[in-house]
Amino acid sequence: MSTNTKESGLETLIVNYLVKNNGYEYGTSKDYNKDYAIDETRLLRFLKDTQPDKLEKLGVYKSEINKTKFLNRLQGEITKNGVIEVLRSGVKIYPVTLDLFYLTPSEANKKAKELYNKNIFSVTRQLNYSKDNSKLALDFAIFINGLPIITCELKNRLTKQNVEDAVYQYKTDRDPRELLFNFGRCMVHFAVDENEVKMCTKLDGKKSWFLPFNKGYNNGAGNPPNPDGIKTDYLWKQILVKDELTNIIENYSQIVEEKDTETKKKKRTQIFPRYHQLSAVKSLLAHVGEKGVGQKYLIQHSAGSGKSNSIAWLSHQLVALQKDGKDIFDSVIVVTDRVNLDKQIKNTIKNFMQVSNTVGHAESSGDLKKLLQDGKKIIVTIVHKFPFILDDIGNQHRKSNFAIIIDEAHSSQSGSMSAKMNIALSENYEENDDETFEDKIVKMIEGRKMITNASYFAFTATPKNKTLEMFGVPYPSDGKVKHKPFHVYTMKQAIQEGFIVDVLRNYTPIKSYYKLVKVVEDDPMFDKKKAQKKLRKYVEGNEKAISKKAEIMVDHFHEQVIAKGKIGGQARAMVVTSSIERAIQYYYAITDYLGKRKSQYKAIVAFSGEKEFGGKKLTESSINSFPSNEIEKKFKKDPYRILVVANKFQTGYDEPLLHTMYVDKVLTDIKAVQTLSRLNRAHPQKYDTFVLDFVNETETIQDSFSKYYQTTILSDETDPDKLNDLESDIRGYHVFTDHHIDNLVQLYIDGAERDKLDPILDVCVKNYEEELDEDEQVDFKSKAKAFTRTYGFLASILTYGNTDWEKLSIFLNFLISKLPTPKEEDLSKGVLEAIDLDSYRAEAQTKMSIVLEDSPEYEIDPAPTSGGGGKTDPEVDLLSNILTSFHDLFGNVQWNDEDQVKRYIASIPEVVSKDKDYQNAMKNSDKQNARIESEKALGRAVMNLMSDNMEIFKQYNDNDSFKKWLSDMVFTVTYNPEGEPFNDSPRIDN
């Protein structure tokens, strides 16, 4: 008989596997009661087999009335609470409570094992589910003890149909008014073909939102080739198996309810784990079960990938995790940097914990101490309060084992906080009155190390180098020790799967054109570099410029966002500003222009603290006329559509209705990714986003996102000998001696008063001021800071401690704060009083899609350990010359493709800075010789450009003024006496 390559062949393959390999029963449509959407035959058989006495009390078999009463009660409970809760908790019907599902038994409980094995898992093919249309049939449905939990529609690519056709069938042919498809009646609905799986937890006609349930392939969407079968067979071989479905029901799937505080309306959402969430949590639990306490885990999951639920699921399962019959962890501490997430995680965990009072929330040191004493198993807190909370933990808790889950690890595992946490929780740190000074230093060193009686689980979308080195998995490669995350769900995969939206697909830079005029008769001299920086700030913050940009934003929002019905007409916008003052300016300018347009919409401003503006002290509450804690709620509702922010809501803000962003702030690296990613949250009616950027270069944004688009790898470990080098350089200035260090540190550790410490520090400050010139002062202070910063990080991960480094770090932390900064005369002072803005216009450039490089991983370098640098001599010039240069950096040269020229010129400084001869000259020679090597390196760089851009090569060789300008510019921005490569390109515009 030939192979059945039709849809029915795939159906047979799946159903037969479940029955023959996994103990399922075959169900039939005859067993299905359409009035109650249950397999009545198996439901009653299960209850009769496991709870016959209860059925007897209910009289289910004595009369149809009693059976109908029972089925109606069951129906009502499923409608009210959902099938998951009914399976987990059973149903109360006077005078009994019926168990409808027996959960995973412990190894030692034989009775529980027997009952678990009596659960009936069944699969019904071609289920006739409709009372009104007997011809309608579902490909198959899965039941547990007669209650439906999963429906499935199959398609077959060999017959020219795929998973999208299955999705279409659910949206158009599967009426959500049918009882089987009501909300909460089933746990999930799967659309499947041999290549992909999609899932939906709420069928709502054409609004049904199906998202991928795939493994991922090459860091992106889809599934990898399967040498042993069909690509999607993990669905029936791993997910639909009895134990895994039980696990999902017990620990993952649930209905969450949110209540609107104003309307009092409740919104219910059914949660089913995404594949990457299930994979991450299960692999973490398995590793902990095998290795025990004391491991470190870095989970790189893209923003918008459901970290909150992943953290909640991990937390409540870590509490129950056992090894050799004993709990592995006594307590789980969840540390987050977002108040709203803090609440969300706490509530999600509570829904799973059978005893809700095992979850606590700590806001103070006393809280945490009491929660631990009261036996709270999971404690949630925000990062800002964590150091203070840990100060007060008693010695009795240092014998306990902890799981520490850190959300956005790079913002919460600083050296000082880490040390406080480790000392507070460490089983090795006991108070002892007989300790010597050296003993105490050793304890402090131990306190800096990551403690052995805790496991760390660090979640982040954007791992920094320190985060990777601290929490990542080390592995040898190319003679180095690299570090990678334990589990990855990439930005690339999240975008391709539709879990988040690609925020770089519609990106439009804005170019500013302006003319400044001199309003004084004479032509004063100013520091050129500082003056140009002030002029730039003046222009972009000028009332005329702010008003113009506000008009562009508001017009764009109305004409391109509202008029085009983005997100079903619900779209919101964010304006990202560089300061509180700028945010307030924008708020008033936008509000004024909304009024002129007679717009129905309003703006909200968001910033922290108080700001004096226009002679008044303003807060966001006084401007908005409602409390700060209502901003997020108000922004979801009309008339509020535009949110103007200064540092607030740029991280951790999760609002799917946010569609458009107007950027007037310099953004780089993680800040760029975190800020623009506020737009990426998915919504059933959200198909795109839009960014209008007034400041940043597209190359900068592209490079920032490239680091975190796929797996982020640390290229090498930090070399601890860098600390020896820094210490040698610092001591070479003879600002202090070992006597100063030992005296101050011993006094500090012994709790001496402040007046005992200052005399020691003041002597060292005097040496610094009198013995070092300005360049040496800058170098000393810079390297001292580099030492304390690097030691604070390395001390937590190095195998061996160093008492001399610990003492020097303590000493320098005190000394640095007392060292005066060299006074530097501001030779640009007065430049703003000498000019005026004559004209300003902003022009949108071509809308573009920023495409990220498709490589499997991106390597980042270890944390920098260098310090140093000297005071640079100001370049003084006439105001008229500064304005001329400011308006037109290219003089009178006419370029065929000015944009291309700008890009090439902007890349030259980085090329020159990496020239080995130039770097060597900066390190080992004086400024004059470095300038000579800079010009040589520039000549080589321009020569290499000849094949790409002949215009620059020709101007460099033929135009002396252009050559001088380019040479001056390159040397000014790249010269660094330390010889470190230059990491930023100058802005070439205006």
Q: What percent of the chain has pLDDT over 90?
A: 39
Q: How far apart are CA 846 and CA 713, in angstroms?
A: 34
Cβ neighbour number for residue 8 with a 10 Å cutoff = 14
pLDDT of amino acid 893: 45
pLDDT for the residue numbered 902: 65
**Sequence letter at residue 167:** V
SS3 707: helix
Dihedral sign computed on CA atoms, order 482, 488, 491, 496: positive
Residue 557 has pLDDT above 70, yes or no: yes
Q: Please give the average per-residue pLDDT across 947-970, as a whole number.
A: 74
Q: Residue 441 — pLDDT band, cuts 50, 70, 90? A: very low
Q: Inform me whether the pLDDT recorded for 176 exceeds 90.
A: yes
DSSP 28: -
pTM reported for the whole predicted model: 0.77
Percent of the chain with pLDDT over 70: 77
Cα separation values, 800 from 406, 449, 482, 796, Å? 25, 10, 20, 10
* Distance from C-alpha of 472 to C-alpha of 629, rounded to nearest angstrom: 36
* 207/448: higher pLDDT: 207
Which of 471-480, 619-628, 826-835 is most confident?
Answer: 619-628
| pLDDT attached to residue 620 | 93
The 10s digit of each residue's pLDDT in 301-344 is 987 788 888 998 999 899 889 888 888 998 888 887 665 555 66
Q: How far is CA 576 from the centre of its chain?
A: 18
472 pLDDT tier (thresholds 50, 70, 90)? confident
How far CA 84 is from CA of 121, 246, 270, 448, in Å, comes to: 15, 10, 10, 45
Among the ranges given (234-248, 419-433, 439-453, 692-706), the one the predictor scored with the smallest mean pLDDT: 419-433
Q: How far is CA 425 from CA 284, 328, 618, in A?
A: 22, 16, 43
Statement: residue 79 has pLDDT above 70 = yes
Q: What is the pLDDT of residues 346-394, one digit of tens each?
A: 666 666 655 456 777 776 656 766 776 777 788 887 766 555 544 444 3
pLDDT at 406: 85
pLDDT over 60 at 442, yes or no = no
Does 466 score more than 90 pLDDT?
no
Banded model confidence at residue 30, pLDDT cuts 50, 70, 90:
very high
Could you tell me which of 82, 115, 80, 114 has the C-alpha nearest to residue 101?
A: 115
pLDDT tier at 838, thresholds 50, 70, 90: low
Q: What is the pLDDT of residues 131-159, one digit of tens each?
A: 888 889 999 999 999 999 999 999 988 88
Mean pLDDT comparison of 273-277, 430-434, 827-831, highest-scoring range: 273-277
Token pair listed for 910:
């980085």
What confidence score (pLDDT) does residue 708 get? 85
Cβ-contact 568, 209 below 8 angstroms: no
Q: Is the pLDDT score of 950 beyond 80?
A: no
- Give the mean pLDDT of 382-409: 63
Asked if the model's pLDDT at residue 892 lies above 50, the reply is no
Confidence of residue 675 (pLDDT cuts 50, 70, 90): very high
CA–CA gap between residue 114 and residue 233 (Å, rounded):
29
315 phi, psi to nearest 5 deg: -60, -55
Q: What is the pLDDT of residues 242-268, one digit of tens each?
A: 999 999 999 999 888 877 666 677 888
d(CA 329, CA 323): 10
What's phi and psi for 708, nearest 5 deg? -120, 10
pLDDT at 427 > cutoff 50: no
Give me the chain's average pLDDT, please: 82
- Per residue, what are the HEC states of 237-304? HHHCCHHHHHHHHHHCCEEEEEECCCCCCEEEEEECCCHHHHHHHHHHHHHHHHHCCCCEEEEEECCC
Compute the average pLDDT of residues 449-477: 83
Q: What is the pLDDT of residue 117?
A: 94
Q: Give pLDDT tens digits for 193-231.
A: 999 999 999 999 999 999 999 999 988 899 999 999 999
In this predicted structure, the answer to whether residue 165 has a pLDDT above a threshold of 80 is yes
Specify the range with the lowest mean pLDDT, choosing from 621-630, 649-658, 759-768, 877-886.
Answer: 877-886
299 - beta bridge partners?
459, 487
Compute and round to an integer the Cα radius of gyration of the chain: 33
CA distance 210 to 483: 35
Q: Which residues of 285-307 are buried (b: 16+ CB within 10 A; e: fewer)?
A: beebeeeebebbbbbbbbbbbbb
Spatial CA neighbour of 309 closest among 357, 256, 362: 256
Which DSSP helix (H) or strand (E) runs through 817?
Answer: helix 803-818
